[in-house]
Structures are given as structure tokens and as C-alpha cells.
Amino acid sequence: MQDEQLKYPFEEKFKEDLATYLQGKDLVDMMLPDIADMEEKWLGIAEAYLPDGMREFADYPTVSLGWMMYIGMAIAKYWDEDWELYNKVENLYNYLRDRIDYDHMDDYICEKVLLLTADEHKTLADMVGKCAARTNSLLRHLPIAPGSKDAFQAYLAALHQLYFMGAAMQLKRMGYHMTKI
């Protein structure tokens, strides 16, 4: 269950905010998915992403945060498409980034992985931007010192929830619906 994966301080704040916002837009189900297969990839993805994401955060915080949402969407698509194959890829973040480059990874994911139309791409980019801006605002208003261990863990928690919500959005988009049985 995803709640068991909440291991960083402040992570619940990011989860609640994003879930409420995305549920209000009907982009994720009221019951969030159990994405155990995709969660197994999280630590490797995060470790590989941090040098790029942290470098970009100072000047482009919404890009640094938002790109992780796109990565979550791509991983969900790969899970649906052929997880037996994609699960063998050593690091799915590097795999995605190296298809083009960090700066254009959003376009690559939208066009080549998710196969979105131009209008769908624009709509998704707007939504990811709003989620990243919300998360950045929450992050900046936490009672923690910039550059501290807590700040790093909060950034990692934010990335984790953006990854998770990206996957949840894509699963719903592909027709998976989470309901209690």
C-alpha cells in the first residue's frame, strides 16, 4: 500500500494536497492505487534523478518537480505496455532522459511514450505545471531551513508524491479504476 511508503518528513502534506486537487479535477480516483511494481523502481529513479533535479531546482523549481510527475506517468505506461520488458531496464529514469535530454524529457514522454495529441500535451503540461507550483509553494512554506537535511528530505518527499500522482493519473487515463472490493 502506498501509505506504507511514506517515509520522509512532510510527505503526507504533499500527498493530501495533490490527491485532493487531482481528485477535484477527476484525474485520480478517490481511492489511490497500489502501485507496488512501480514503487519498487522509485529509489533507483530518485537516486538517478537527484543530480539533475537538484541542479535545476534553484532556477526552475517547477520543472525540477514537474518532471518527476511525467516520469511517474511514463513508468505507469511502461507497466501497462510490457512490464516484463521494462522492469529489466537498469534505471528507467536514465533510460527516459537519455532518449533526448533532461530539458526536453517532458516532450519526449508526452509525444513518444504517452502518445498524446498536441492538445492533450498542452492540457497535461498545464496540469503538471499547476501540480508542481502547488508542491513548490508547500515546500517553500515548510518550517525548515533551506539547505538542511530536512529540506533535502522534504524535496525528496515532494518528488515521491509527484511520481506517485503521475502514475495514478496515467493509470486512470488508461482505464484503471481503483475501488474497494
- Is 120 part of a structural domain of the chain? yes
Cα separation values, 168 from 1, 90, 96, Å = 13, 23, 19
Asked whether residue 3 is assigned to any structural domain, the reply reads no
Nearest-angstrom CA–CA distance, 66 and 134 = 10
Residue 5 resides in a domain: no
Residue 171's nearest CA partner among 36, 43, 24 is 36
Give a yes or no: residue 180 inside a domain: no
| pTM given for the model | 0.93
Per-residue pLDDT at 88 exceeds 90: yes
Q: Which domain holds residue 24?
A: 10-173
CA-CA distance, 114 to 69, in Å (whole number)? 13
Tell me the mean pLDDT in the region 93-112.
Answer: 96
State the pLDDT at residue 146: 87
Query: Structural domain tally of the chain?
Result: 1
Stated as kind and residue range, the H or E segment containing 9 is: none
Whole-angstrom distance, CA of residue 34 vs CA of residue 4 = 10
Q: What is the pLDDT of residue 8?
A: 61
Please give the radius of gyration of the chain, using alpha carbons only, rounded to the nearest integer: 15
What pLDDT is recorded for position 1?
37
Residue 108 lies in a domain: yes
pLDDT tens, position by position, 145-162? 988 999 999 999 999 999
Instruction: List the one residue out of 178, 179, 141 whose CA is nearest residue 13.
Output: 141
Does 28 fall in a domain? yes
Q: Average of pLDDT values for 115-137?
A: 98
Domain assignment of residue 2, yes or no: no
Confidence of residue 60 (pLDDT cuts 50, 70, 90): very high
Rounded distance between C-alpha atoms, residue 102 and residue 27, angstroms: 26
180 has a pLDDT exceeding 80: no
